[in-house]
Amino acid sequence: MGKRLKKCIKAPTVSFTAPVLLVSQRQASAYPPNSFEQAHFILFCHLHILSSLVISLNKTSTTASSKTIVLITGANQGIGLEIAKKFATENPTYHVLMSSRSLAKCEAAIASLPSGLSLEPIELDVTSDSSISKAVTAVQEEYGRLDVLINNAGISENTLPEDLTFRQRYTQIIDTNTISAACVTDAFIPLMRKSPEPRIILVSLGLSSIGNTLDPKFPYYGYDGPEYKASKPAMNMVMAIYAVKYKDEPIKFNACCPGLRATGLSGGKGNHPSVGAIIVCRLATAGEDGGSGTYTDKDGTFPW
Ligand SMILES: NC(=O)c1ccc[n+]([C@@H]2O[C@H](COP(=O)([O-])OP(=O)(O)OC[C@H]3O[C@@H](n4cnc5c(N)ncnc54)[C@H](OP(=O)(O)O)[C@@H]3O)[C@@H](O)[C@H]2O)c1
């Protein structure tokens, strides 16, 4: 993945125009240069190449580091793809790292979006520590910091093979939705603390509110899907722990529900996933007065 990110940064271009011109002038001269002139000329060439490199490298780092760097997990489809699209189309000063466990899927997703957006594919399987570590290293090397992290990748019983046991479903769903979101968050925190306004969003689920689950008046009272529903209250707790731990720093942690959206994970129920991206982008772009440690959807706050 590091290699992939490196490829995306334009290699510095060096202009040899002035030295070449000098060489041709010298070749035309009837008087061969003495050794002092030769040394002077070589020094001039080196200085020219060096200054061209410095100018070009400065241009490269201006493009990259002057933008707000956003990383979204599971961005190749569904709500993650819509979050990436919304960030990149509405905020030209944002550079979006669209991560996916499959680089090919991510590149296909980018190809499906309008051209000219500041998007970059990056491989990240949230369940793999080595994949997380490679992603952190690549972002560190290319940008030196991360401004926004969206923990969006997730699975439900709808996206798992049908022949799994109850224990296997619980284990896989909690591993991806909860433990992996915690691992990704923890691994990127050092890079995020280098950002002036770091924002970490955990994409949660309103159905996972324990208060709502126990409330007979809740419209989804008795709704099934225990493994998936049980995975997100623990994710909310991960968010709350970090919000308290870093309460005296600019870094903000929030959990939110994108609402029921028609994706593979919801079994195709709900409306367009682009609607789910609204609350995520709102929280991720909130200013200093935006809260930390919240659990909301577009209509307000959930009981825990
Ligand atoms: N849709 C809803 O109604 C709804 C409601 C509330 C909350 N949410 C939450 O919204 C988030 C996005 O879900 P969605 O509805 O957009 O589902 P989706 O269309 O199925 O997308 C899920 C994304 O997560 C990725 N993913 C799964 N396992 C991964 C792993 N190990 N490493 C990296 N990426 C992985 C998937 O990649 P692959 O393509 O490789 O599988 C896919 O890109 C989830 O956290 C979900 O819980 C959704």
pLDDT in tens, 33-78: 455 455 554 554 455 444 444 444 444 444 667 899 999 999 999 9
Q: Model confidence over 208-223: pLDDT tens digits? A: 999 999 999 999 999 9
d(CA 121, CA 80): 13
Residue 22 scores a pLDDT above 60: no
Which pLDDT score is estimated for 218?
95
Catalytic residue (one of 85, 86, 134, 232):
232
Domain 68-301 has CATH 3.40.50.720: yes
Q: Model confidence over 263-304: pLDDT tens digits? A: 999 999 999 999 999 999 999 999 999 999 999 999 999 999
**How is the beta sheet containing 199-203 ordered, strand by strand?**
119-123, 94-100, 68-72, 148-151, 199-203, 252-256, 294-297, 300-301
What is the SS3 assignment for 287?
A: coil
Can you read off the two tokens belonging to residue 73? 């997990």
Can you read off the two tokens belonging to residue 40? 């002077």
Q: Which of 183, 185, 263 to mutate to test the pocket of ligand 1 (most atoms within 8 A of CB)?
A: 263
Which pLDDT score is estimated for 68?
97
- Ligand 1 near 257 CB (within 6 A): yes
Which pLDDT score is estimated for 6?
38
User: In what helix (H) or strand (E) does residue 171 lie, and over which residues does it extend?
Assistant: helix 166-174
Question: What global pTM score does this model have?
Answer: 0.84
Question: What 8-state DSSP symbol labels residue 49?
Answer: H
Which pLDDT score is estimated for 66?
87
Taking only Cα atoms into account, the Rg of the chain, rounded to an integer number of angstroms, comes to: 25
Catalytic residue (one of 94, 143, 228, 242):
228
Percent of the chain with pLDDT over 70: 79
Which of 5-14, 79-88, 284-293 shows the lowest per-residue confidence on average (mean pLDDT)? Answer: 5-14
Can you read off the two tokens belonging to residue 148? 């926004």
Q: Model confidence over 153-194: pLDDT tens digits? A: 999 999 999 999 999 999 999 999 999 999 999 999 999 999
Main-chain phi, psi angles of 146, to 5 degrees: -135, 135
- Ligand 1 near 101 CB (within 6 A): yes
- Cα 94 to averaged position of ligand 1 atoms, centre (Å): 22
What is the SS3 assignment for 248?
A: coil
Report the DSSP beta bridge partners of residue 119: 96
Active site residue 228: yes
Which pLDDT score is estimated for 52?
45
